[in-house]
Amino acid sequence: MTVPGIVMATTWVVDSNCFIHMGSMAQDNLIDDLSKTIKEGIFVTPGVHQEIKTVRFQRWKNKPNLLQAIKPILTTIPIDDDQIRGLATQIGERAAPQDVDLSLMVLASKLSREGRDVTLVTDDFKMTTTSQKVSLGFTTCPPSTFLQRLADSGPKACKSRFRSLSRRTRAAEMRYAISRVNEYDIQAKLTWMVDSLIESKPQSKAASPDVNKSSEQKLIRALRKFLLGGEPKKSHMEELGSLPTICEPIKELDSLLDQFSDAGAVVVEDKYAEGIEKISSVMERVGIGLAPMGEEMAEIAHRAMAGHIYRMESCLGMLARMNGDMMNARLHLSRALHHATLVDDVGAEMLATNQLGLLALVRNKWERAADLFEIADRQSQAAKSARLSYVVCAGMARFLSGDDASANKHLQGAQVLVAHDLNKAGNDLLSLGKTLMAMDEAGLAIEVLDEAIECAIETNDTTLTEKLAEYLVLANNALTESDSAQYEGLRKYLDNLNTLTHNSEEFTETLTQIEQQVELMSQPIEVTGEWIDAESVFSSGDRIPVLRQISMNPNESLIVAQHSNLGVIAFWLPDSDYQVSAGQNITIKDTRVKIAKAPDNLTSEHKITTLIAVEDDAMMAFSADIDV
């Protein structure tokens, strides 16, 4: 839905011919002008790279290679061959453009389905007619119109250069079209070129139906600044009237998030309930205040508050997930994504989309997870932010769904990112492994952490290696027999992510030490059969990491945890209503416990060595460190 008074930035997908025109005619400040005018960069597919790899800037000193010069502002998205063939079949194989053009049409359609206002820049009129034929959701324009629109929307310093380049490009387009007059009817193409140029012309202020757009955007920015603690212009505050007062309760959400971050270890269930109570109270008060307001003022308020609500919903989603409530976690994160779209912040949308992808991964919705990770990857490229974890997750999801071709493309992309910066890759993969552990995906976490430890060893980063070894022990202890079977082929797939060129002996030795530590922790402890003080088994202040919760029967569960000395243990809790998940920690004191040997089926499936009954389970506390 397009919000009244808000202009959505155009996402540009550009074909090879446009770059060829720019290489032939552009001045040497083109890259700087494009960077200032198109903040998110230009979208292309790998085929465009191939078509322009030999093009040079003819008017630049030393005639540098165009592709190398323009790469920093390109976002390159690979497209599956199956999708290209599918589109070709849909529009009729004989009438279909070349494969590179088809890949650009698929990309433009994908971006359009993400809610973007997409324009495909091409001088191939067939791409316009075929896209309209199957309603792909994007518009098209020739390169000359693209450059004219940049002149209209870009900074003043760039305008004259873009206009001049547009005129020269239009002349070249006309000459080419006229040269083909004996091959096909060029009238429709010329009409399209002229119409696209007319549509790009800004309307006069008197004729514009959106004369208040810029003033509304100023008011949104002013209200946003006020809610973040700044001091907007007095004139803007006067125009906002009572909106600042009505929306002021939204500040309470950020205050609560600050308290969560500063609190250290917190009881997840309590903080989730506190967060729900706070956001409900805030939204009720704001809603009552906005009810009498007109639609335009309400829209200003909603957009100004969107960032605050996004942050709160993201936190609630994380708390719900840590509490084992995947349904509400998905609901909160979906709301977070919705509010992120109302903020001019690609990073917020990227993080929310990634979280939804992780939830889909946990639910074994492989194709849905892959789609979400691929969207997050496109958003990360537009935002010029780290993308390795999204590419790796997309590859794993495609592999698990049986789409080997797409999985291998993602793997190739990840290999380039890893090779570019091994140390950063190791840290990024550690972060991803920890996240997967917190979502009870030990099988996936092990494969990711294995690759991370290769990166750490190859760069001689002993601190990172030690951290990774610690998490690999935890992940191996959390791995169930069914997990091992489910992800059996994934290790072979991810083994190609990084290839050790040296220190392979150190890698083997590190893995052997980890295996020995896992084996040591799988030895059962002494069974007493008597009630003993919890402090005699668990030191005061011990925080025991939760690996998972297993439901045995209604109101009966086992909470599996790892203790640094006792190994993998399970607390048997009959008549318990606890809902916990990996990522939380247990502390226990002021009660008694009884130790028993675990049955063989629990030992083989969950590696549990010891069962522990708790006399008063109310003396168990579950907490987690929250980073929001």
Q: Which among 617, 619, 550, 548 is positioned nearest to 584, based on CA atoms?
A: 548
What's the start-to-end Cα distance of the chain, in Å?
29
Which pLDDT does position 66 carry in this prediction?
A: 94
- Cβ atoms < 10 Å from Cβ of 305: 25
- Rounded mean pLDDT, 386-396: 93
Which pLDDT does position 207 carry in this prediction?
A: 36
Q: Which among 555, 477, 464 is positioned nearest to 521, based on CA atoms?
A: 477
Please provide residue 93's backbone torsions phi and psi, each rounded to the nearest 5 degrees: -55, -40
Q: What percent of the chain has pLDDT over 90?
A: 22
Distance of alpha carbon 254 from alpha carbon 314, whole angstroms? 12
Q: Which among 41, 85, 120, 78 is positioned nearest to 374, based on CA atoms?
A: 78
Cβ atoms 67, 53 nearer than 8 A: yes
What's the pLDDT tens digit per position in 423-462? Answer: 999 999 999 988 888 777 888 888 899 889 888 888 888 8
Side-chain-side CA neighbours of residue 410 (13 Å): 27
Angle 399-402-405 from CA coordinates, rounded to 5°: 70
Which pLDDT does position 545 carry in this prediction?
A: 85
β-strand pairing of 117-121 with 139-141? parallel
Bridge partner residues of 266 (DSSP): 624
Which pLDDT does position 173 carry in this prediction?
A: 80
- Sign of the four-CA dihedral 184, 187, 192, 194: positive
Is 80 exceeded by the pLDDT of residue 110?
A: yes
Is 50 exceeded by the pLDDT of residue 4?
A: no
Distance of alpha carbon 458 from alpha carbon 421, whole angstroms? 11
Select the more confidently predicted residue: 164 or 189.
164
Tell me the three state secondary structure of residue 525: coil
Instruction: Work out the pLDDT band at 584, boundaries 50, 70, 90.
Output: confident
Tell me the three state secondary structure of residue 39: coil
**Length of the chain as a residue count:** 628
Which pLDDT does position 582 carry in this prediction?
A: 77
Burial class from Cβ neighbours inside 10 Å (0-12, 13-18, 19+) for residue 22 reads buried
Q: Which among 514, 577, 501, 583 is positioned nearest to 546, based on CA atoms?
A: 583
Instruction: Work out the pLDDT band at 612, boundaries 50, 70, 90.
Output: confident
Distance of alpha carbon 112 from alpha carbon 131, whole angstroms? 12
Distance of alpha carbon 23 from alpha carbon 32, whole angstroms? 15
Cβ atoms 406, 370 nearer than 8 A: yes
Q: Which among 63, 474, 6 is positioned nearest to 220, based on CA atoms?
A: 6
Distance of alpha carbon 23 from alpha carbon 45, whole angstroms? 18
Cβ atoms 245, 34 nearer than 8 A: no
Instruction: Work out the pLDDT band at 30, boundaries 50, 70, 90.
Output: very high
Cβ atoms 404, 81 nearer than 8 A: no
Which pLDDT does position 182 carry in this prediction?
A: 61
What is the crossing angle of helices 81-91 and 99-113, to 10°? 100
Domains in the chain (CATH in brackets) are: 10-200 (3.40.50.1010), 212-344 (no CATH), 421-521 (no CATH), 532-625 (2.40.50)
Please provide residue 49's backbone torsions phi and psi, each rounded to the nearest 5 degrees: -55, -45
Global pTM?
A: 0.67
What's the pLDDT tens digit per position in 117-137? Answer: 899 998 877 777 776 666 777
Tell me the three state secondary structure of residue 529: coil
| The dihedral formed by the CA atoms of 365, 371, 377 and 381, expressed in degrees to the nearest 10 | -170
> How does DSSP assign 314-327, residue by residue?
HHHHHHHHHTT-HH
Instruction: Work out the pLDDT band at 250, boundaries 50, 70, 90.
Output: very high
Locate tokens 């942050």: which residue? 311
What's the pLDDT tens digit per position in 175-195? Answer: 877 776 666 556 666 666 666
- Sign of the four-CA dihedral 464, 409, 45, 104: negative
Bridge partner residues of 595 (DSSP): 612
Which pLDDT does position 215 carry in this prediction?
A: 78
What's the pLDDT tens digit per position in 495-532? Answer: 888 876 666 677 777 777 777 776 666 665 666 678 88
- Rounded mean pLDDT, 220-247: 90
Cβ atoms 4, 295 nearer than 8 A: yes
Contact residues for 176 (Cβ-Cβ < 8 A; gap 6+): 123
What's the pLDDT tens digit per position in 53-65? Answer: 999 999 999 999 9
What's the pLDDT tens digit per position in 300-354? Answer: 999 899 889 988 998 898 888 887 788 888 888 888 888 887 776 667 778 888 8
Which pLDDT does position 197 carry in this prediction?
A: 61
Bridge partner residues of 541 (DSSP): none
State the average pLDDT for the chain: 82
Amino acid (one-letter) located at 622: F
| The dihedral formed by the CA atoms of 545, 549, 550 and 551, expressed in degrees to the nearest 10 | 150
> How does DSSP assign 551-614, residue by residue?
EEETTEEEEEEEETTTEEEEEEEET------BTBEEEE-SSEEEEEEPPHHHHHHH---EEEEE
Rounded alpha-carbon distances, angstroms, from residue 135 to 115, 128, 130, 325, 525: 15, 10, 9, 39, 67
Rounded alpha-carbon distances, angstroms, from residue 160 to 144, 149, 152, 178: 14, 12, 10, 27
Instruction: Work out the pLDDT band at 560, boundaries 50, 70, 90.
Output: confident
Which pLDDT does position 286 carry in this prediction?
A: 92
Distance of alpha carbon 50 from alpha carbon 98, whole angstroms? 13
